[in-house]
Structure 1
Amino acid sequence: MYSPAGKIWRVSAQLLADGDLKPVVLKLFPWDKIAEAHLLVESGRARGKVVVAV
């Protein structure tokens, strides 16, 4: 059985390495502010990724 997942990951990694794909991180929260991070995501107003550092 063929799965394109491996190819997708390789292409994505190359795009990131080349600078052609840039992740959008809205905000980085420390672990103790996880409730605040959750509220932001649930609000629907987050335009980008909300990251929680562990």
Structure 2
Amino acid sequence: KINWDDAPLTACYYNGLKDRVKDEIAGQSPPTKLSEMVALAVGIDNRQHKREL
């Protein structure tokens, strides 16, 4: 079991995101909790996907 706190997990998650999602997150204050980062990234990705349809 890895005992990482939210900061390194959030950074790892952020690094794996699509560049378009990162661009939108960069325009605001990024979340420090992993659960908040996941929710934000999923919301952004869903909105971008809907616009492409």
TM-score, normalization: structure 1?
0.27
Larger Rg: 1
TM-score, normalization: structure 2?
0.27
Structure with the higher helix share, 1 or 2: 2
